[in-house]
Structure 1
Amino acid sequence: MNSFDYARACDVAEAVRLKAGAPDARFIAGGTNLIDLMKYHVEQPRRLIDISRLPLNAVEETSNGGVKIGALVPNSTLAYHPIIESRYPLLASAILAGASAQLRNMASTGGNLLQRTRCAYFYDVATPCNKRAPGAGCSAIDGLNRNHAILGTSTSCIATHPSDMCVALAALEARVHVVGAQGERMIAFGDFHRLPGGRPDLDNTLRADEIITAIELPARGFAANSSYLKIRDRLSYAFALVSVAAALELDNGHIRGARLALGGVAHKPWRNEAAEAALRGQAPERVSFERAADILLQEARPHRHNAFKLPLARRAIVRTLTQAANGTPQIQSIKSIR
């Protein structure tokens, strides 16, 4: 690991000031992803800014009926928080599907949004990677790409976003609170992460001096009819081949509202409003779910080793929507798909 300077911020303003003075610095809280990146020489920050003691660890209700989650709330605390368990079970389930208990105890909510791809070529500094070194090329396109993206890819990158929590946050239409040298702003969750385009090294739309302070959930949590399903090579501590966050609002035997997000298939959590619109007004049945799946996946462009993700995703979407409609969500402690 390379040498680096260390500074501890006492408040958000100081964190922003320290970052503005060293654009290549990195914030560190739980460090569950950053430390790995530093060990593998993928990230070599000259300064680490410790934000672990900032007062950003509360989960509190907002005046509009939603919930505001501090950026430093540990993933495990959030998953088992009574408000989240009762009103946003989709989020709780997605968190429990991710990583291990030890990592969830350390990982911060804000840090989860910022974790980088688990592409093997990205981690191997001996191979070309546009995300690590812009202009170097993408080794995955013609390499072993079984775990890679089938949606939203570019000729520069086919990496996937690894988070489970973010898939649920996308479906719930969360908002991200950030603070920078220019002041505070709020980013719609769907606008926070980027598709690769020609700049796959840019994972999100944060400015260089900005820090995440909170994530806000709207009042509607789809508590009665939602499910998170994660398909992976093994049933614990593995990243998703395909994951689905599905949330429905039912009224008199028909779908009044629908949210649908995919993980493991794109550079960011994948949503398609046309697929959700196709569900509204329909009966919650297989034919409706299959139609939505086809719309959601219509732009898929599989590669040599990951074409299996297309039928896998279609079946997973239908199954997860069925679970949500029946009010029988996938239980993460049960190591079988219901």
Structure 2
Amino acid sequence: MTSEELGKERLTEAKPPLEDQSRRLWDLVAGFETGQIFLTAFELGVFNLLKEPKTAKQISEELETHPKATEKLLDVLVSIGTLNRIDGLYLTAPNMAPFLIEGELYFARYLKFGLESREKLLNLKAALKEGPKVEGEKHKHQYDRVSIDWIARGTMLGRLQATLKLVRDLPEFKSARKLIDLGGGHGLFGIGFAQENPHLEVVIFDQPGVAEIASDYIERYGAGERVKAMSGDYTKDDIGSGYDIAFEACSFGGNADQARSFYENVARSLNDGGLFISQTFTIDDDRRSPLRNLIWDLKEQISNDGHMHLKTNSEIFRMLREAGLEGEKVIDMSQDLSMPMRLVVARKRA
């Protein structure tokens, strides 16, 4: 555009030369900043200290932190909804307290993994330059009664109900007579399936020690007539046979060799035409989403800790096919859950 043409242009009517992406870019930066502030507060124990109302000065003295900076941090936490502030007193928000105060029944233990993730990502540049660790720190999950009860309470916040409804509505479920819940833990999925199908016999299969806890849940729900607990290693031990449905909910996180062994064991246990239903985390074949799973996959790559080996839908279908199971569909549960989980449905070939 010439100087003469620019001189005639009304700036109020000027068409932007391209769409401004500044807000999107600032949102990306702000997401990191907000996460850092929240995790720092969690790490310091701010939410525990604010189980009862206190002033910023009191919190600063207890934490031995800078008074003015502490007050500004608390104000950010109010803005993001994790704290309330009334008449100068700060308090962990009542709707968040069950998740943020240590010792509460629904305390978000997984946020401690968030602290680990923060360290990984703060060192991302070095990890990209140097490559994955040769041998990462292996996660050792604790599955005692306290942990299983905590998992059960979290499952009851919506994941259990949404999963039961989806499986219940599959045509094959109505005619099923025998189902195994692999890595069933507390057993609530298996118990729920038995409640939805009065002709269904269910086996809750998990490692020794956990199966005994499942038996207590079975007794608590009065389901002992048709639901039983069984212990072992489902990747290699005999899990029984004649099942119409094998179900697994986020209990398997092994590598490719372990997955092959697991899927083959599942296939052997199913009747011809039987279903294998796995609730898990997958990545779309175009590797564009879900974002949280892609980030998780990146963290696993750079840390090499073997916590969870994410696969694309097609990669999982290929591994299932090699074990004698034909992948049929992937049901996205993201809208119903806090995490982008899917139900992978496969069928044993006749």
Same fold (TM > 0.5):
no
TM value normalised by structure 2: 0.24
TM value normalised by structure 1: 0.24
In terms of Rg, which structure is larger? 2
Q: Answer 1 or 2: higher relative contact order, Cα 8 Å, separation at least 6.
A: 1
